[in-house]
Structure 1
Amino acid sequence: MILEAVLLQVKKGMETEYEEAFRGASKIISSMKGYISHELQRCIEVEGKYLLLVKWETLEDHTVGFRQSNEYQEWKKQLHHFYNPFPTVEHFEKVKL
């Protein structure tokens, strides 16, 4: 399992509109091969800051399967205009303890 973590900064005053758009776009990502789950967290201290966490079965399910799909083009269309600056996406794997 891979965890995709993205810090998102939404343009000032667009938070409510963003959250509504994200609810709709969630149907896109949740339909993808290898998708496990996702959640969006709103920062308490910083207005407009969000944390998106997405669990994928493999890294390629995200980087190839989703990112190179037609569905991703629709995801971009619905969400990317809200971000400033554009977010950095990082991937994590669980450490066995």
Structure 2
Amino acid sequence: MILEHAVLPVVPGREAEFEVAFADAKAIIASMPGFVDLTLSRSLETAHEYLLLVHWERLEDHDPGFRGSPEYQRWRELLHGFYAPFPVVEHFREVVSMPAEGAR
């Protein structure tokens, strides 16, 4: 499994609008082959920054899969106008994992 990581710098003052647009956009990415799950979190220190984490079965499911799809064009239309500057996206493969004590 691959973890996509992107810090999304939303234009200050457009956070609420971005969250509404993301609520629509999440169905697009969730419908893609190889999509596993996602989380979107808002920074406590920098209110206009969000952290997007997406699990994909394989790197190819994200790029070229999702990024090369017609659905990605709709994703872009909904979200890319909110970013300044444009986010850097990186992919990670898990090396170590450890659940909290008592978690199963």
Question: What TM-score do you get using the length of structure 2 for normalisation?
Answer: 0.91
Alignment correspondent of 1:41 = 41
Q: Look up the equivalent residue of 1:30 and give its one-letter code.
A: A
4+ residue segments displaced more than 4 Å: none
Alignment correspondent of 2:93 = 93
Alignment correspondent of 2:55 = 55
Question: What TM-score do you get using the length of structure 1 for normalisation?
Answer: 0.98
Superposition deviation, residue 39 in structure 1:
0.7
Alignment correspondent of 1:73 = 73
Alignment correspondent of 1:11 = 11
Structure 1 counterpart SS, 2:24: helix
- For structure 1, the 5+ residue unaligned runs are none
State the alpha-carbon separation in 2 of the partners of residues 96 and 39 from structure 1: 20
State the alpha-carbon separation in 1 of the partners of residues 93 and 80 from structure 2: 26
Superposition deviation, residue 64 in structure 1:
1.1
State the alpha-carbon separation in 2 of the partners of residues 65 and 10 from structure 1: 25
State the alpha-carbon separation in 2 of the partners of residues 22 and 67 from structure 1: 17
Backbone CA RMSD of aligned residues: 0.9
Structure number with greater Rg is 2
Superposition deviation, residue 53 in structure 1:
0.1
